[in-house]
Chain A
Amino acid sequence: MSVDKATVAKIASLARIRMDDAALERMVPELNGILRWVEQLGEVDVAGIAPMAAVIPGTLRLREDVVDADPLTGGGKQADVLANAPAAEHGFFGVPKVIE
């Protein structure tokens, strides 16, 4: 499969990366080069092989339902959460007005 400029534009938009025409133009051959190369995977016989589910075999650990058991993963830290915000007001993050 190969991509054209319109496809790259669509992907860039899905990924929320603004790209002008020149950037899109440049990206087309680069992406096609990579895609052509990764498509050699199609040669591999994967019949009966399950996609890798866990790098090191294991299953999910569950934690107990305790509020703020570890301050590093708990809440109650509005100041820390907002500390780096480009726009924070009245305890909220501010973003350009959204019309739903």
Chain B
Amino acid sequence: MSNYRIQGATGEWEVVIGLEVHAQVTSNSKLFSGAATAFGAEPNSQVSLIDAAMPGMLPVPNRECIRQAVRTGMAIAAQINTWSRFDRKNYFYADLPQGYQISQLYHPLVGEGSLLIEADEKAGIAEDKIIGIERIHVEQDAGKLMHDQHPTMSYVDLNRAGVALMEIVSKPDMRSPAEAGAYLRKLRAILRYVGSCDGNMEEGSMRADVNVSVRRPDEPFGTRTETKNVNSVRFVMQAIEHEAMRQVDVLESGGTVEQETRLFDPGTGTTRTMRSKEDAHDYRYFPDPDLLPLVLDEDFLAECRASLPELPDAKRKRYIEVLGLSPYNARELTAEVETFARFETLLAETAKAIGKDEPAVATQVANWSLSVAPGVMKALGDEGDPANATAAAQAAILAMQDKGEISGGQAKEIFEIVLKTGRDPAEIAETEGLKQVSDTGAIEAAVDSVIAANADKVEQYRAGKEALFGFFVGQVMKAMQGKANPQLVNQLLKGKLG
């Protein structure tokens, strides 16, 4: 249970949040036409006669878009509807050439599923929580309007018109901005794992319609507003905070919340009524007569299932249970596709370089990946070239460290040089003298001379003052100019001191 509450003048209010996320499906061509979907082309250059809704033009659906939506549904353990169909949502707007959006209302492709958000003390999420997902349906994106190019005209670019979207509709299960943020991040990760959406919120590949209402704790839901097209996790959280406050203010001053569509202004972090959509709530949905029912066969479903990768929750569990990573490390490493991909490559390389199995080196690689390497990179800033941080180079460093040839400090120094120059780690260790001495003879000689020079302390140690052990280590390391392998030093000292 979230204990996020808004303190109003008349008492506490609870926020109820549902998100409708529009995620652009990764595909080469549009949902119903062969025009390209690539981002940022000349206006109206990626527009077919179909997208421009020329008279007599007809839609034919793209298999890949359906496939990606089905795979996404499977990734959230949702019901896949083998019989679905497309409906028309009718309204007039300059970014909607047909005068209707082809969408799915009555029989969506994907039914109920769910997604897990994890406990995060810092964010105020006390425990793991399952957020219900109502449905995923497939629909067309609209075009783009530009209002600032001409004094009296808006310009219409239809390049995006007809690009496939998945609308992922959550249940009103979230109770704080933090939960909404966590839901969005998790959803984004899943989409990116599956490869059904690039999750790029800046380019608009993922937008959220934020449904917010407030109520007294344990009372029925209040009237909700829908804030359209919010395009970052932070903005979604801000929009919820502002909108919930606004509604509390309205209610506490005796007013009623209007069910309406609102816009978020990132500049001020506030929401406002959207004037252009004010009479658009009678969409006259009906089955699109240009399209027959969509029926999926078992082969299609089997391919979708077989092509799914290991998903975030499963991966995290495996990292903890099989690789023996801490829950924290496991969560950090599985949050983003790039992160786990880099980690798994490095893990494989390192295990090979050391000659042990992956669980045996996983914690070492995890610590390196999450804290050591990023620390070095950060400290180095622009001087380092991340491209030099190949898995092979890092595995070589980790292997040298594992074999005791270099110390942790030396590993960092070597990595720094690798980042700057791209040189080979072993060569660096050699030429820059960044190796620790593991020559038993040399260390033994140093140990002998330290023992000889500190006979009194040896006496005390042998009499039971074990705390002196650290002193001996320090003396030996000093004698070896810090380059002795500490394990060997310990081992030899223990042997000689008895």
Contacts and interface: CB of A to CB of B under 8 A. Distances in A.
A92 B292 contact: no
B44 A66 contact: no
B450 interface: no
Interface stretch (A1-9, A21-29, A39-47, A75-83): A75-83
Contact of B154 (A58, A75, A98): A98
Contacts of A68: 29, 34-36
Interface stretch (B9-17, B58-66, B388-396): B58-66
Nearest to A71: B34
Contacts of B27: 65
Contacts of A99: 147, 275-276
Interface residues of A, number: 41
B29 A76 contact: no
B175 interface: no
B35 A98 contact: no
A96 B66 CA distance: 36
B61 A62 contact: yes
Contacts of B274: 100
A91 to B, nearest CB: 4
B44 A67 contact: no
A65 B152 contact: no
A76 to B, nearest CB: 6
B150 interface: yes
Which secondary structure dominates chain A's binding surface? loop
Interface stretch (B45-53, B192-200, B251-259): B45-53
Nearest to B154: A98
A75 B150 contact: no
Contacts of A13: 279
Contact of A59 (B149, B287, B295): B295
Given A62-B63, A81-B52, A92-B43, A67 B294 contact: no
Contacts of A30: none
A58 B292 contact: yes
Given A53-B287, A76-B45, A92-B43, A65 B155 contact: no
Given A73-B60, A98-B147, A65 B47 contact: no
Contacts of B291: 60
Interface centre among A53, A63, A80, A96 (most CB of B within 10 A): A63
A54 B34 CA distance: 25
A53 B106 CA distance: 12
Nearest to A63: B60
Contacts of A60: 61, 85, 291-295
A88 to B, nearest CB: 9
A54 B293 contact: yes
A73 B46 CA distance: 11
Interface of B: 27-29, 33-36, 42-52, 60-66, 85, 92, 94, 145-147, 149-158, 263, 274-276, 279, 282, 284, 287, 291-295
17 contacts: A54-B292, A58-B292, A63-B61, A65-B27, A68-B35, A74-B35, A75-B45, A77-B47, A78-B42, A81-B158, A90-B155, A91-B43, A94-B154, A94-B156, A95-B155, A96-B154, A97-B151
